[in-house]
Amino acid sequence: MRKFAVVKDEFLKYGVSADEIKIPVRATRTSVAYDVYSPIDEVIPAGETKTIFSNLKAYFNDDEVLYLATTSGMGKRGLMLAQGIGVIESDYADNVSNDGNLGFMLYNHSDNEIVIKKGDKIGQCWFAKFLVVDDEVPPTGVRTGGFGSTKK
């Protein structure tokens, strides 16, 4: 099962309500990625990074991954994900610290501030299967947190 859902009310950020959150959509019938939209207005100064949480979580199978990236249009404006690409594991949804709120850490590498308006695309995401090595000893760790919490 794959689906997007709004995070629980206690994990909503920016004082917005659940009914204001736009569920990600694909722009065309052959689009690979789902567009994700900003729940707020935000200004990202030149050379700085800001994280915008989407107030959304994603459910998907344990042998799948959700990738986050910026769009080509964002790249033309000078925005990129600070970490290059986002990798979301299936156990991120419903975690105890942020309920799986998908965050886009945006870095402005242009010489000008970039204004993001509520409803603007802040990125895109897509699901993919992943493989593990045949002789792997299955990990036993359990996620205990949210954004950036995978144990080292």
In a domain, residue 12? The reply is yes
Tens of pLDDT along the chain (152 residues) come to 899 999 999 999 999 999 999 999 999 999 999 999 999 999 999 999 999 999 999 999 999 999 999 999 999 999 999 999 999 999 999 999 999 999 999 999 999 999 999 999 999 999 999 999 999 888 887 767 665 655 54
What was the pLDDT predicted at 140? Answer: 80
What was the pLDDT predicted at 148? Answer: 63
We report the CATH number of the domain holding residue 45 as: 2.70.40.10
What was the pLDDT predicted at 62? Answer: 94
- Which residue segment(s) compose the domain that 73 sits in? 3-129
In a domain, residue 141? The reply is no
In a domain, residue 134? The reply is no
Q: Burial, 43: exposed, middle or buried (Cβ in 10 Å; 0-12, 13-18, 19+)?
A: exposed
Residue 85 phi/psi, 5-degree rounding, is -150, 150
What was the pLDDT predicted at 143? Answer: 64
In a domain, residue 151? The reply is no
Structural domain total, the chain: 1
What was the pLDDT predicted at 152? Answer: 46
Please report which helix (H) or strand (E) contains residue 73, including its range: helix 72-77
In a domain, residue 33? The reply is yes
Q: Kindly report the pTM of this predicted structure.
A: 0.89
With contact defined as beta carbons under 8 Å apart, do 49 and 133 qualify? no
What span, in angstroms and rounded, lies between the C-alpha atoms of 152 and 146?
Answer: 14
What was the pLDDT predicted at 99? Answer: 96
Question: 3-33: b or e for each residue (b if 16 or more CB lie within 10 Å)?
Answer: ebbbbeeebbbeeeeeeebbebeeeeeeeeb
